[in-house]
Structure 1
């Protein structure tokens, strides 16, 4: 099925590697499929995890209850949840971008929304050994630095900044838990000025490893789009 992929920034969007203002959407809408995938960038992903053994028929009521009690709700905030039955773990995620997606969804039949943090996690876990479920990483993509901290393969903390110094200060303002494990810190090798990355707390167990996540993100997004657009219906 043909699908159009749009990268949604705070003040613009990217379609087929060309950037547009939101006011220009009507100019390119006719070129898009009615099936669209939106990748949200430049926004922080918030997550909370709850250990609950809940029947499938009660899961939606539980999610609505948690959203009303523990999340700020408005039309611009998007929500998503995952339920790991084996671990009895419910994860709820929120990210800004609802108002922008409403405008970019005009004329569509089906939409899919993916925060860039989900793609970064997917790429990192693909290149790691299966037993590496605790890690942190900094990735640079379209002018912004993304910090992801995962524990037991779940998002624990994420930050987004367009200044590397500010990002490092935010990371260092939170203490890392010394759980006796080696904390591996992955740095996108395309990031310049890596020497300014100085981490506090449990540094003796932190190992910096260069990866090529930025290029893999481009490949994952744009090669997938190429496959969709070349498919004959």
Structure 2
């Protein structure tokens, strides 16, 4: 009896590569033509319950409505702040989209250049004009902590299946960690623990295509923080 080939878990594909000829459903970064499913971008072929998708290997973060991102204030005006969200387009945060009553010209009393903020993408129109907001549950200024930047396409690997990887990081380092879909990550905790969490995140970024990654990250943390995760 002929043995069926296992599905490759880390197959690199380029635009135009055939992903399936069996009528499987296409996900992100794919397109269908004449009953075949093709890759639309350079990336990693990914199977899931929802079909086949392609995870981008690199590139610039392109915001989508509803994304939760971490931004850095890089300019201040009388009625808004300009926020760097790692996108190629400016992201103004208007005073009407913050949880405070800000008088005209008083913006610097609330947020200053260099401040980190947790935001949601409210709208991206056809001309790539971006509108962001802090008026939603959990959105706020991020005081203290440290920021780690990774390629946005690595975010899903850092989160892990059903949040398993990020939950392990939080538990083992006893840190609060917020991950923006733009690839910016905020870590807050004891200095040594936060550094270990940051190094673990960088390790995941650099080794995202390798197998047994969870076990390797766990070993890395245990080596640096003996007894990590124990109650």
- Calculate the TM-score normalised by the size of structure 2: 0.25
Greater RCO, CA 8 A, separation 6+: 1
Structure that is richer in strand per residue: 1
